[in-house]
Amino acid sequence: MLQVRFEDIGNMRYKEAWDYQEELMANNLEIKKFNRSLEIAGDDSTPKKETKSHFLICEHPPVFTLGKSGAMENLLVENKYLKEKGIEFFKTNRGGDITFHGPEQIVGYPILDLELLKPDIVLYMRNLEEVIIRTLKDYNLECERSEGETGVWLDVDHPGKARKICAMGVKTSRWITLHGFALNVNTDLEYFRMIVPCGIENKQVTSLEKELGFKVPLDEIKIKIKTHFEAVFGIELY
């Protein structure tokens, strides 16, 4: 069973968390490069190194992030306004369009070596969604997937009622994953009025608090996410 190091990095600015992920990925890519060099040289005597998988969880101060295929038109306010409100903005190297990260939202960043699980990015995305679907089912919320749209939704088959509760966007390099998911727990949804969330028009964004009618402790949700993450991916967090 794959051992994955879990780390709650607290409330960290987006760029710092991104840099930390990139550092962890770079370390693993160096290990893969080293192992590949042994294979090319036919060196069977030198032990190969093992990559290290991680699962980071955090919150961010208010920030909008735009995926590599995103459109700037989906940011509905000017940079001057963002600066006045203390909201950061970054273009990132993940997939997907624009989204918001902020207080009372749980952001998960798995840095996994999929070659040690299953090198299938589609399966990886479905598994990430499954982790959140199972977590929210613990609160009697029947969430689901929306065909052709990543993330976790409610009422996807009801026009006008479909709403996203968890956004996702990832990047992989040599089967090492980067970025991840953002689950709206007690998130201030007013921020989403400043964007076209994930570039999808005419669909709403929701939060666990809005659906349940009360605030949910983040530490409680984190425990559930960890439990389901282990079960869905068949790994052990330490």
Q: What HEC string does 157-224 produce?
A: CCCCCCEEEEEEEEEEECCEEEEEEEEECCCCHHHHHHECHHHCCCCEECCHHHHHCCCCCHHHHHHH
Angstrom distance (rounded) from CA 216 to CA 133: 16
Rounded to the nearest angstrom, the gap between the alpha carbon of residue 85 and the centroid of all alpha carbons in its chain is 25
Annotated catalytic sites, by residue?
198
Give the type of residue at 138. Answer: D
Angstrom distance (rounded) from CA 138 to CA 11: 25
Give the type of residue at 17. Answer: A
Report CA Rg, the chain: 18
Query: What is the edge-to-edge ordering of all strands in the sheet holding 88-91?
Result: 88-91, 63-66, 98-101
Longest dimension (CA), the chain: 63
